[in-house]
Amino acid sequence: MSWIQDITNPKERQWEDFYRNRWQYDKIVRSTHGVNCTGGCSWNVFVKNGLITWEMQALDYPDFATEIPPYEPRGCQRGISFSWYIYSPIRVKYPYIRGTLIDLWRNAKKLHTDPIEAWTSVVENPDARRSYQQARGKGGFRRTSWDEVMEIVSASMLYTARKYGPDRVVGFSPIPAMSYLSYAGGSRLLQLFGGVNLSFYDWYCDLPPASPEMWGEQTDVQESADWYHAKYVAVMGSNLNMTRTPDVHFIAEGRYDGAKLTVLAPDFNQVAKYSDWWIPLNAGQDGAFWMAVNHVILKEYYVDRQTPYFTDYVKQYSDSPFLVVLNKNGANYQPGRFIRANTVSRYKNIENGDWKFLVYDLKSGEARMPKGSIGSRWANKEKGKWNLEMKDALDDAELEPALTFLDNSDEVVQVEFTDFDKQYASFRGVPVKRLTTEQGTVLVTTVFDLMMARFGISRGLAGDYAASYDDDKTYTPAWQEKFTGISRETVMKFAREFASTAESTGGKCTVIIGAGINHWYHNNLLYRSAITALIMTGCIGRNGGGLAHYVGQEKLAAVAPWSTIAFAQDWAAPPRLQNGPSFYYVNTDQWRYEGSFTDYNPSATDSYLAKGHTMDMQVRAARLGWLPSYPQFNRNSISLVEEARKAGAQTDEEIIKWVVEQLKTKKLRFAVEDPDAPENWPRTWFIWRGNAIMSSAKGHEYFLRHFLGTHSNAVATEKAEGTVNDVEWRTPAPTGKMDLVVDINFRMDTSALYSDIVLPTATWYEKDDLNSTDLHTYMHPLSQAVPPCWESKSDWEIFKLIAQKVSELAKTKFPEPVKEVVASPLQHDSADEIAQPEVKDWTKGECEPVPGKTMPHLRVVTRDYANLYQRFVSFGPLARQNGIGAHGVRWDIKEFYDELLEMNPVQEWSGNRYPSLNTATEAANVILHLAPETNGEAAYTAFQHEQERVGLPLTDLVEKVRDVRTTFKDLQTQPRRLLTSPCWSAIINNGRTYSPFCINTERLVPWRTLTGRQQLYHDHEVYLAFGEHLPTYKLNPTPQQYGDNVQSKPDGNTVMLNYLTPHGKWHIHSTYYDNEIMLTLSRGIEPFWISEQDAQTIGVKDNDWVEVFDDHGVVVTRAVVSARVPKGVCIFYHSPERTISVPRSPLRGNRRAGGHNSLTRTRLKPVLMAGGYAQFTYSFNYWGPTGVNRDTHVMVRKLQGKPVW
Amino acid sequence: MDVRAQVAMVFHLDKCIGCHTCSIACKNLWTSREGTEYMWWNNVETKPGTGYPTLWEDQDKYRGGWEVKGNQLRPRLGPRLGVLSQLFYNPYLPVMDDYYEPWTYDYETLANAPAGDDQPTARPVSRVTGRYIDLEAGPNWDDDLSGSTTYARNDTNLSNLTDAERASLFQIEQMVFFYLPRICNHCLNPGCVAVCPSGAIYKRAEDGAVLISQEKCRGWRFCVSGCPYKKTYYNWRTGKSEKCILCYPRLEMGQTSSCFHSCVGRIRYQGILFYDADRIEEVARAPESELVEAQRSIILDPKDAAVEAGAKKNGINDAWIDAARRSPIYKFVKDWELALPLHAEFRTLPNLFYVPPLLPVINATKKGVYEIAETDYFGAIESARVPMKYMASLFSAGNEEIVKKVLKKLIAVRSHRQSKKVGNISENQANALLVEAGCTASEVEQIFRMTSLPRYEDRFVIPPYQRERDVETAPDRTAIKQKGQTGLGFTQAPRRGP
């Protein structure tokens, strides 16, 4: 190659080795990031000279279909900057404890040899307790040793169990999918102990309640590759480019395959920039827009002309043809409940007849009972009828259900609908049939006819119907203009493009939706309005169609074996799983700061079910078994068993009976009825893998005040006194409920800073673990590239260490196993779903208290504290005995369990052998071997079980993959694609992308709802009372109604703005927010985005310091003034820490200003506490109110003077 | 004809999401050392905006690139002799304020703060002075239209717009932004090479990568001025300049450059082009409105027999000729004419080409209600949000027709597929759009596949480097000897040059 010499002397090019040397490395290890971003990206971690030097995306996802863009590369700016953390100065390298506490402890240890006695002497001395509580968050950490700190932690746990009960030991860790075993280590310890795991998905407000409402499903969504199949994509409240960074290319690539992208967003955000059409509707008004879209779709595709694809779809896959009773109310009618099959003579004696429903069959001209309702699901006698065949469940006759009675009604009656935006009732004509029942004649109509009336679609019937689209009546395109600021023509054009695409493609329209919608108070209604459009256009259960909700990494693919291990159900059941929103609302005393919810949330009726204070609703939900409630009783659950025995109870049944009697006579109370009594406080709190005190802490300042007992910047006044009925009011409110807060962390974040003890944990490049997400269909490993740095240990090892110490200390105080009473709510995906056909309150004498029927389950559970460690490391016998399962599918695993004893390491003790869970890697292999998603034979077995109940063949879906087995090492070599599984609802054979509910539409497996169909209509009595039986529009609470700014008065240079906290570009929650690279690429701080107009009003220029405040707290940061932000709103990206660059606030006494959650307070939407009924039955992270915060308004002013540090 | 091979690049801006993963991939590998903190060999800018370093496009300020004086092509900074005479005085260098003062935080205080009466917080600390710093600038300060009043409105590319056009661009109904990722263009006519007083900068013959010898560089920093893209940086620790090396250690191993590898928007393509080195000066001197066309003309067709012969004559082997024939860059730049050079008027003949972005249709507010104009299904180019003048200022040296043609073709591709897959657009409409864009159904199918479905090996066609031959060009090295001693020795920064 002589020509090189023409240019440069080769000798002078030898320096090029300088950069070549940098590119050399010693080792590559595959890992990922265990952060709640839904990415689940495959990364190569590079190790050179024993140090992690950088990471790059691995590009070796198995390609499963050539006509779909590949997944490579996955990984974003945040992921690729993670290696900074490993050796960074924010790394927690050693165990730390606050100086005040360690001094108290060491002194106590001098006086007490027994650590539990020592701990007792510290926490039962009020001055001592107050002194270390008030020091929380204020520096003064000292390094300590693992030995010393383990003793404190274990002593605190055992002290709490003895004094108050194990259910006062609580733990918070979010999103197991992002690192299965790191979560499971802590939850397993807690559940073996009798402690409580707090939920996260609902608390983070990631759970879309509309999904359980309409589908009986927590969340099940498309993998991102499926977007590519969509031919119309509407994005709302989801800034894909910013938050779905590794996935958004599928959208761009779909656009070049003919898809149109329309974005609904108030600001000109990153995905709006990417779109074909940006519709800038007013913040939080997406519901009004979609209601009008539905109006157009129903009018043009169901009335003006029939669209066979749509009508066939809704008849088979939605509750549209099901019959609803209309109840007489004065001269008019109100929508009532679904008519029960056993009310007509033909089905009088059928099994579970209260839980089977009717359609009007055009063939026979009579009401008929199709298969698939929830009563068929939980049938003991008549099995095999839980499917979506439109056949009479009695005699298999083909049915032809009437969608409407428009042409063959017996009469038309006026039905009442509340138009919440106007706060009055409208009456609209609805065609009905008279139906003869055992109780007499009733009027029934179809859900579809009610929908047409609810949406105001004129079909020539009398009543308050809109004359045209231009008529400003519910819910026309003209009607929505005043809310959305969007023209009626826009709505019409959008609706037509959407529906016609669905019609011509067979349902390939996708709505991508996110936190921007899900964080509003009325999020369930916003979602329902969009889902309704998808159902009415046949887009659910189709590749390329559906509701794609991505808020949090909820998809734990191998859920069945994982939940068995994580909640220690291989040793004891049930676990104590608490819905976080209720827990924090109750126990951080945020309920004390609000009055009646009807101040801002109107209901349709005067029913007691929809009036009052949210706290009373919470108490009712606890008593009726609708929601969990821990701490559970006002007495120690261990002592309770001892007392029962003293009272003569021998067997478990007798103990339960005694407890029920105690409750009935009010000698025993639910702790939630008096949450501020010291015996009812949670006492020991573990936080790991999350930032419970800052990032997710809606009402952060109340956490500081009531949980921690340290300073708080809240100035709100208490309002609940006199408005609460069922709860004890104590003054003053307690501060500092927690005895001990332990944070397990690799970062010194806000939660670490405010905890008593900080334990150093391994990062995601220093441990083995599993990871999965809903954005793709691969199983991922986390792998150890270097050993845990400094003194850190993996979460699994840390909890094992605690288990070991607890077992050791228990030898004196709990030498023998003890029994305790565990209360748990009625459970979704179990026969509990058909426990309560009507709402009856045993505390009011409306029925008898019957555990598991009219009240929570009560069960006696044995704790073996001395053997807790042995149990921790052994996969216990109950798994073999009871099988495993998820989502209502349960199967036997004996064969697989025994294989594990042969193939994998074992534990032997007390003469028994168990598959070993000693290391996280071993636990991962147990999970992979048992999961239908990673073991073909397990999938086959699980489908075998499922097809028996369904009564249609299903095993053929996995016949070809029966020999697939996956080990942890396989995953480290290359990510593996999941198998089709009955625990999930897609069919991903033969290169198909994951789209949920395909198994329902194609294999006729019912949805897990009341009718087994997609549920447009909700007849739970609480829903009827709130007027949320059908999709509807409710106004967002106004700032005045919401009352965030009663004490915080504006001065001349203050502006009030709607406080939006979408997910940011430079962090995943607070992780990466403190990362030097991310801070450098942003503004070195989390800035406050404000419009040019609003900035001008308060005299703020770009990069000026501003003070943002309301009654809950204050934030001091710098302003970003941008033309892309509309007037009236501000954006403060979720979520900054108080640890980075936060000055003091002159407004709040020159104390350190807070973070984004300093400006929020929790409000729970009571309708979401309704329970005990079909899909409205509790499951962890599945049901319950969510931690909404989007309706908050804040005051903003320029910071006076220079920032003070 | 003097046939040379050049590793060239395409960035498809319609796919860019502005995530900066590319920037960090680069930073982790190459510029996370002391002295390089502020260097972003790869950066991503929000447009409209002033970029990094601020206002880099303003050559009245920085005098980068080339100008035609009379019929003479010469560096704006002045002829080489003039440069030498200014060795100790260069008023056109960007200063720290044009970049930013790199910073970190006193993170340690969080764990180490003594017990006090309030919560500790980590404050920003200058990496230059070690003192607390009041942050006022960063390498991506105007990200996503941050501080639009200060930054976006001062974009030099807006200077050709009327006041009305400029004002409307910042009304929320009409505004727009997009991202412009940038690396060194590894130009055919590099401004940096031309002005280096030390002769330290060279263009590698085998692949065209422009490198600054870390041995010969004496830190005069004329390259910093001479590069109109401001893609060379001065390392204040070693006293030498550094710049994007196109990840040659990776290219040599058959791997794409790290910023390409990491591009999660999948906007990037890399491959080689053959060009005629004899025509560089002539092309670089072309009239402004013809520069894009002129640059296209210097790129040779690798399937042409004469080109093949010329390549072989210059020592380019069969495998490289094959790679040139499969190059996605050739398709985008020559076959489809979709990818355009950035600021061709700088006359450096950059080798990074951009497919300009489509943007949402424009809307208007009437009486407080947002209206949509009736447009085609995907919107018409005529109603695009950003004035064509602005796009042309960036991508076609002011020639609006060139940019318009590209955007029409992109719409034609999408409409063709829409018509085929859905039918909201009729076949006739789709065909009419094809005709208007001047392309065929088969061409749009190819464009669709390369945009939507490409695999790694379609996006990156890296020719095989034969390192054993390169190694042996050095007189004291043989491959067999190198095999045993590669990587041995002391790793240290190259010494300052003579």
| pLDDT, mean of each 10-residue run, chain B (498 residues) | 97 97 98 96 98 97 94 87 71 92 97 97 96 97 96 95 88 89 97 93 94 94 96 95 98 98 98 97 96 98 98 96 98 98 98 95 79 80 83 97 96 97 96 96 98 98 93 84 81 56
pTM comes to 0.97
Q: Does B378 touch chain A (CB under 8 A)?
A: yes
The CATH number of B11-103+141-260, from 3.30.70.20, 3.20.10.10, 1.10.10.10, 3.40.920.10, is 3.30.70.20
- What pLDDT was estimated at residue A5? 41
> What pLDDT, in 10s, does the model give residues A589-617?
999 999 999 999 988 888 999 999 999 99
Apex CA B37: angle with CA B31 and CA B43, to 5°?
A: 70
The rounded distance, in Å, linking the Cα atoms of A305 and A1060 is 41
CB contact under 8 A, A1151 and B206: no
Superfamily name and number for B360-454: nitrate reductase domain like (1.10.3650.10)
Is-contact A822 A656, C-beta < 8 A?
no
Mutate to test the interface with A, among B52, B110, B278 (most CBs of A within 10 A): B110
Residue whose C-alpha is closest to residue A773's, from A42, A28, A30: A42
| A1122 vs B contacts (CB less than 8 Å) | 144-148
| Stretch(es) of chain B classified as CATH 1.10.3650.10 | 360-454
Residue window 221-250, chain B: list those with CB within 8 Å of chain A. Answer: 245, 247-250
User: DSSP labels for A453-473?
Assistant: HHTT--SS-SBS--SSTTS--
| A483 vs B contacts (CB less than 8 Å) | none
Strand A277-279 to strand A260-264: parallel, antiparallel, or no bridges (unpaired)?
parallel
- What pLDDT was estimated at residue B85? 72
Q: Which residue of A has its CA nearest to B215?
A: A15
Q: Does B104 touch chain A (CB under 8 A)?
A: yes
Q: Does B206 touch chain A (CB under 8 A)?
A: yes
> What pLDDT, in 10s, does the model give residues A918-977?
999 999 999 999 999 999 999 999 999 999 999 999 999 999 999 999 999 999 999 999
Q: Does A564 touch chain B (CB under 8 A)?
A: no
Shortest alpha-carbon distance between residue B287 and chain A (Å): 29
Residue window 33-92, chain B: list those with CB within 8 Å of chain A. Answer: none
A950 three-state secondary structure: helix
Query: Per-residue pLDDT for A446 more than 90?
Result: yes
| B427 vs A contacts (CB less than 8 Å) | none
Give me the residue from B115, B202, B413 closest to A7, CB to CB: B202
CB contact under 8 A, A6 and B141: no
Shortest alpha-carbon distance between residue B482 and chain A (Å): 12
- What pLDDT was estimated at residue A535? 98
- What pLDDT was estimated at residue A307? 98
CB contact under 8 A, A69 and B453: yes
> What pLDDT, in 10s, does the model give residues A1001-1059?
999 999 999 999 999 999 999 999 999 999 999 999 999 999 999 999 888 799 999 99
CB contact under 8 A, B175 and A141: no
CB contact under 8 A, B360 and A8: no
Place of tokens 């003569």: A648
Query: Per-residue pLDDT for A740 more than 70?
Result: yes
| Stretch(es) of chain B classified as CATH 3.30.70.20 | 11-103+141-260
Q: Which residue of B has its CA nearest to A483?
A: B369
CB contact under 8 A, A12 and B206: no
Shortest alpha-carbon distance between residue B475 and chain A (Å): 8
| A1132 vs B contacts (CB less than 8 Å) | none
Q: What are phi and psi of A737, to 5 degrees?
A: -75, -30
Q: Does A878 touch chain B (CB under 8 A)?
A: no
Q: Does A903 touch chain B (CB under 8 A)?
A: no
- What pLDDT was estimated at residue A3? 36
Is-contact A128 A98, C-beta < 8 A?
no
Q: Does A272 touch chain B (CB under 8 A)?
A: yes
Q: Is B330 exposed, middle or buried (0-12, 13-18, 19+ CB in 10 A)?
A: buried
CB contact under 8 A, B28 and A55: yes
B372 three-state secondary structure: strand
Displacement of CA A181 from its chain's centroid (Å):
19
CB contact under 8 A, B421 and A231: yes
Shortest alpha-carbon distance between residue B46 and chain A (Å): 11
Shortest alpha-carbon distance between residue A54 and chain B (Å): 6
**Sheet harboring A51-57: ordered strands across?**
A27-31, A43-48, A51-57
Q: Which amino acid is at A26?
A: D
Return the axis-axis angle of helices A614-623 and A580-587, rounded to nearest 10°.
Answer: 120
Mutate to test the interface with B, among A15, A103, A713 (most CBs of B within 10 A): A15
> What pLDDT, in 10s, does the model give residues A771-820?
999 999 999 999 999 999 999 999 999 999 999 999 999 999 999 999 99
CB contact under 8 A, A504 and B103: no
Q: Does A1082 touch chain B (CB under 8 A)?
A: yes
| A12 vs B contacts (CB less than 8 Å) | 202, 213, 215-216
Q: Does A73 touch chain B (CB under 8 A)?
A: yes
Q: Which amino acid is at A277?
A: W
Exposure string over A254-273, b if 16+ CB within 10 A, otherwise e: bbbbbbbbbbbbbbbbbbbb
- What pLDDT was estimated at residue A424? 81
The rounded distance, in Å, linking the Cα atoms of A874 and A895 is 18
CB contact under 8 A, A487 and B372: yes
CB contact under 8 A, B422 and A501: yes
CB contact under 8 A, A490 and B177: no
Query: Per-residue pLDDT for A553 more than 90?
Result: no
Apex CA A1172: angle with CA A1168 and CA A1175, to 5°?
A: 70
The rounded distance, in Å, linking the Cα atoms of A1186 and A1193 is 19
CA dihedral (B125, B131, B133, B137) positive or negative: negative
Give me the residue from A2, A54, A1140 closest to B28, CB to CB: A54
- What pLDDT was estimated at residue B491? 52
Shortest alpha-carbon distance between residue A95 and chain B (Å): 11
Q: Does B112 touch chain A (CB under 8 A)?
A: yes
Cα-based torsion angle of the residue sequence A411, A414, A415, A420 in order, rounded to the nearest 10 degrees: 160
Query: Per-residue pLDDT for A862 more than 70?
Result: yes
Give me the residue from B14, B372, B422 closest to A231, CB to CB: B422
Residue window 456-485, chain A: list those with CB within 8 Å of chain B. Answer: 481, 485
Give me the residue from A75, A1102, A1139 closest to B110, CB to CB: A1139
Q: In the A/B pair of chains, how many CB contacts fall below 8 A? A: 368
Helical segments of A421-571, H only:
447-454, 477-484, 488-505, 515-518, 523-536, 559-566
Residue whose C-alpha is closest to residue A274's, from A255, A301, A290: A255
Q: What ipTM was predicted for this assembly?
A: 0.97
How distant, in Å, are the alpha carbons of A96, A141, A147, B248, B300 from that of B112?
10, 7, 21, 43, 64
Give me the residue from B117, B172, B452 closest to A256, CB to CB: B452
Q: Does B11 touch chain A (CB under 8 A)?
A: no
Using pLDDT thresholds of 50, 70 and 90, give the confidence band for residue A1. Answer: very low
Mutate to test the interface with B, among A16, A224, A746 (most CBs of B within 10 A): A16
| A56 vs B contacts (CB less than 8 Å) | 25, 258, 261-262
Q: Which residue of A has its CA nearest to B123?
A: A1141
Using pLDDT thresholds of 50, 70 and 90, give the confidence band for residue A2. Answer: very low
Strand A577-578 to strand A196-198: parallel, antiparallel, or no bridges (unpaired)?
parallel
Give me the residue from B177, B360, B424 closest to A275, CB to CB: B360
Q: In percent, how much of chain A has pLDDT > 90?
A: 97
Using pLDDT thresholds of 50, 70 and 90, give the confidence band for residue A1134. Answer: very high
Shortest alpha-carbon distance between residue B341 and chain A (Å): 22
The tokens describing B59, both together, are: 């050559």
B381 three-state secondary structure: helix
